[in-house]
């Protein structure tokens, strides 16, 4: 029998980080002043839920128990965002900056997993598929952040 514990741990770590991303996009959608941004954040949260479902399916296939909670770090980050919002207000530019910061984090986590040569080919394939959505979301937020930096 093949030891799948490393694959399961890696996938569950990515699931937790992706759940954090879902929460972050959901909060950003609530706080956004511009309805276009709110719709974009809501759509991205939905895409991330699909990534979570796919990764959870892979963990189940491997015989593991899929993660269904985000990370402790994300809870602390949300408290910081709530404090920051209370001080600075829910400015769309600040919200986009925070979302983009979260995107940098999730992209780095997925890139680390993609570079892990100890993972099975099946797990690497599942991560690669999920990474496509992560990279697209990261690039979209990066571009939006840069576009907003040019406005006052």
pLDDT digits (tens, 9 = 90+) for 78-87: 545 554 554 4
Q: Which residues fall within 8 angstroms of residue 39, CB to CB, at 6 or more apart? A: 29
| 5-149 CATH fold | Ferritin (1.20.1260)
Give domain limits for the chain. Answer: 5-149
Distance CA 89, CA 14 (A): 31
- C-alpha closest to that of 12 among 48, 57, 59, 71: 59
Which position has the higher pLDDT, 111 or 27? 111
Q: Which two tokens stand for residue 1?
A: 């029998």
Mean of pLDDT over the chain: 86
Instruction: Find tokens 């979570």 and name the residue.
Output: 52
pLDDT digits (tens, 9 = 90+) for 116-135: 999 999 999 999 999 999 99
The sign of the torsion formed by the CA atoms of 96, 25, 19, 84 equals positive
């Amino acid at each position: 029998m093949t030891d799948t514990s490393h694959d399961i741990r890696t996938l569950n770590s990515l699931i937790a980080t992706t759940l954090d991303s879902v929460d972050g996009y959901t909060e950003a959608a609530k706080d956004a002043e511009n309805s276009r941004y709110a719709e974009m954040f809501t759509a991205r949260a939905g895409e991330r839920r699909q990534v979570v479902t796919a990764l959870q399916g892979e963990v189940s296939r491997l015989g593991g128990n899929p993660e269904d909670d985000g990370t402790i770090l994300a809870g602390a980050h949300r408290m910081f965002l709530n404090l920051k919002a209370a001080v600075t207000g829910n400015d769309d530019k600040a919200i986009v900056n925070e979302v983009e910061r979260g995107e940098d984090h999730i992209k780095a986590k997925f890139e680390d997993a993609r570079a892990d040569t100890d993972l099975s080919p099946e797990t690497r394939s599942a991560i690669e598929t999920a990474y496509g959505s992560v990279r697209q979301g990261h690039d979209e937020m990066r571009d939006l952040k840069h576009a907003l930096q040019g406005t006052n």
